[in-house]
Amino acid sequence: MTESLVRATASSARRPLRLGTRGSPLALAQSGRIAAQLRERCGRPVFLVTVRTPGDGSTAPIERLGTTGVFTTALREALLRGDVDLVVHSCKDLPTASVPGVRVAAFPVREDPRDALIRPGGTGLDALPHGVRIGTGSPRRAAQLRALGLRPEIVPIRGNVDTRLRKLADGEVDALVLAMAGLSRLGLLDADATPLDPAMLMPAPAQGVLAVECRTDDPATAAQLTALDHAPTRVVTIAERGFLAALDAGCTAPVGALAELIVEPGAAPALRLSGVIAAPDGSAVVRGQLTGVVGDGAALGRRLAHMLLRHGAAELMDRTPHRVGDEVG
């Protein structure tokens, strides 16, 4: 490396970082946390740059806005233009296909991946009456809730967390289902929030995970972002996203997955991956689970996806096992 290149790299490692983020309260809270961690661990100034995405400000059901990239494409475009130096995504919104010129430099420590039922006084799903009005904008949550036999009235609902909570307070719905991670990051976890067992309501792949991206031609920023990377979170995220990628499904699909590291005395760490694929109306659900080695997460995800598709999930997704078999190799 030449002396001039060394000086340029050192200079770029000291200048303020521009962090691209959506403008929602949750996105700003998440990005603000990443900015604070970068300042603390790298001693580098960071300021937020708000980027508007097609998903912001729309009240249309999320599936009508497109299957992938609704909240992420505009951020990535700003990154590639050089308007910002890094971007922060909710990883469950991040398409599984790679984008030339962009890399995920860090998966910080995961928050609680579970969903939560929000109802005044707090209660579990088993205590809900038939016909209860549950607000959610997620086809995954709606399908699994219908499959539980509660015969709920699913009320399509979008908007910021505060907007949804206000609709609950105003009596427009009887309950909400929201991510534990989002509630935690906003400081809104309280007695009205009951965590839901993933066996009943499987979370979205990579729910509770943040993905921090930078450009591939910015090695100084990439190197500093590795200080935020959490190896166990990366391991489970790769497995869950491998499952999603093998299905060629986006964040609007009725698909859930959860990977867990299994550490037992005297045994090598293992990776357990559970997945679910549901019919949108809840009339059928296919579940499965596989265990593999920690360094084989993406392949484990592909194997689980192929297994579920061969056991009936292909019909639920209007696909054939042969097509997906070609994709996962």
Report how far residue 256's alpha carbon sits from residue 198's, in angstroms, rounded to the nearest whole number: 9
Report how far residue 42's alpha carbon sits from residue 84's, in angstroms, rounded to the nearest whole number: 18
| Cβ atoms 107, 113 nearer than 8 A | no
What is the separation of C-alpha 14 from the centre of its chain, rounded to a whole number of angstroms? 31
Give catalytic residue positions. 93
Question: DSSP label at 319?
Answer: -
Report how far residue 202's alpha carbon sits from residue 208's, in angstroms, rounded to the nearest whole number: 13
Q: Give me 311's structure tokens.
A: 């056991």
Give the DSSP per-residue string, 76-145. Answer: HHHHHHTS-SEEEEEGGGS-SS--TTEEEEE-PPP----EEEE-TT---GGGPPTT-EEEE--HHHHHHH
Instruction: List, in sequence order, every residue forming a beta bridge with 287; answer none if it has no partner.
Output: 276
Computed over its alpha carbons, how large is the radius of gyration of the chain? 20
CA geometry: angle 194, 179, 84, nearest 5 deg = 155
Strand 270-278 versus strand 285-293 pairing type: antiparallel
Cα dist. 303→31, 89, 247, 253, 310 in Å? 34, 27, 11, 19, 11
Cα dist. 137→7, 92, 192 in Å? 50, 14, 20
Report how far residue 277's alpha carbon sits from residue 202's, in angstroms, rounded to the nearest whole number: 10
| Cβ atoms 213, 79 nearer than 8 A | yes
